[in-house]
Amino acid sequence: MGQTKTTMSKVEMMDQYLESCGKDFGYEEVRHIVQSLFDIDLETKVVVFKEYLAPLSLDEQNEDIPVARVAIDHYINQSKSELTGKETRNIIRNLFGINLDGISSLAGAKISIYSKEQWITQHEHDLFVVDTPLGDAEVRIYPTLYFKEKTGLELVPLELQQALAPLGYRYDPDHNWCYYCTLTGESVGHEFKVETIETIRQIILDLYNY
């Protein structure tokens, strides 16, 4: 028996949907599936990597047409072969800095992601926020209001501070967050982000698995 919808990840369901559209899918299909699965409306998101807008001529852009539509359609049409779901997600990550594969892996993790001045994923019962400002050179981790209400704790718990310390995080009592900044000002790497999230996830499983 094959996988059912209840056991498939969000990216697997996205892949299945786009495959069912064949070669004819475009912006509307991409926007629909991203909205349905991830609750993200691409038309409300800011293109953060402006260099990916460079190939678009000014004549192609109309103030009445969302930039997201123009940009995504451009890169879909540019492809000489049928795009896969993975390639489509790469287009979205390149334009908006939104990593749908990463978001899919966070299902049920109780971790909110705020990146490049926009919420990437946020749920009512999330316990911690991973906040990366524009440029991704800094990472801030702090408890949600729900965590404070549920546990009665106001500060980042000591166990999380200690777990993050080997990765280079330090606790900032003035802001009540664990803070990391690259020495070079370059973006933190993907593997570092994964390690950070897995560290938080393990603390949640060990101590706050409500």
Distances (CA, A) of 101 to 29, 47, 163: 18, 18, 25
- Backbone φ, ψ for residue 156 (5° rounding): -60, 125
Q: Which of these, 30, 121, 118, lies nearest to 76 by C-alpha position?
A: 30
**Pairing relation of β-strands 128-132 and 118-121?**
unpaired
- Backbone φ, ψ for residue 114 (5° rounding): -120, 115
- Backbone φ, ψ for residue 184 (5° rounding): -90, -10
In three-state secondary structure terms, 142 is strand
Phi-psi bin for 117: left (phi > 0), alpha (psi -120 to 50), beta? Answer: left
| pLDDT for res 65 | 66
| pLDDT for res 3 | 47
Low-confidence ranges of the chain (pLDDT < 50): 1-5, 58, 60
| pLDDT for res 189 | 82
Domain ranges of the chain: 10-102, 108-207
Buried-exposed string 176-187: b where 16+ CB fall within 10 A, e elsewhere: ebbbbebeeeee
Q: Which residues pair with 171 in a beta bridge?
A: 178
Q: Which amino acid is at 37?
A: L
